[in-house]
């Protein structure tokens, strides 16, 4: 299950004295963790079990299981569903096991899957 946060963007235009605003969604996937004081731009999707570091400014979509930090947010790793950093490269083909749950994860073409 994911959550959708509705947000109002800044005024997009004023026509004949009327203010028009666009309504934009921020989608947050199941199990995602949002650190304190992080900022997420309108229209961005946060993948399931992604981990956003405290104070990060997220201006683009975050893949499932990704760990992102900084301003602007950059991916620095991968997280398990248990919330532990996985020993995987950012790119390439690799497999690892969560040391706490024994769940196996596979990285291929920039996408992580449970196996």
- State how many domains the chain has: 1
Say if 52 falls within a structural domain: yes
Domain of 68? 3-11+21-114
Buried b (16+ CB within 10 A) or exposed e, 53-84: beebebeeebbbbbbbbeeebebebbbbbeee
For residue 16, being part of any structural domain is answered with no
**Cβ neighbours of residue 95 under 8 Å, at least 6 residues apart?**
104, 105, 106, 107, 115
Q: Which domain CATH number covers 82? A: 2.20.70.110
Cβ–Cβ contacts within 10 Å for residue 95, how many? 13
One digit per residue, the tens of pLDDT, for the chain of length 115 reads 555 554 545 555 566 666 666 667 789 999 999 999 999 998 899 999 999 999 999 999 999 999 999 999 999 999 999 999 999 999 999 999 998 999 999 999 999 999 9
For the whole model, what pTM was predicted? 0.81
At CA 37, angle to CA 45 and CA 83, rounded to 5?
65
């Amino acid at each position: 299950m994911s959550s959708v946060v509705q947000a109002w963007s800044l005024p997009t235009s004023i026509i004949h004295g009327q203010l028009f605003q666009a309504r934009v969604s921020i989608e947050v996937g199941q199990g995602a963790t949002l650190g304190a004081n992080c900022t997420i731009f309108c229209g961005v999707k946060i993948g399931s079990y992604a981990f956003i570091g405290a104070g990060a400014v997220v201006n683009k979509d975050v893949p499932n299981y990704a760990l992102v930090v900084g301003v602007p947010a950059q991916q620095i790793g991968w997280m398990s569903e248990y919330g532990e950093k996985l020993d995987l490269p950012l790119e390439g083909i690799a497999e690892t096991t969560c040391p706490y749950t024994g769940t196996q994860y596979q990285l291929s073409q920039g996408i992580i899957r449970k196996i």
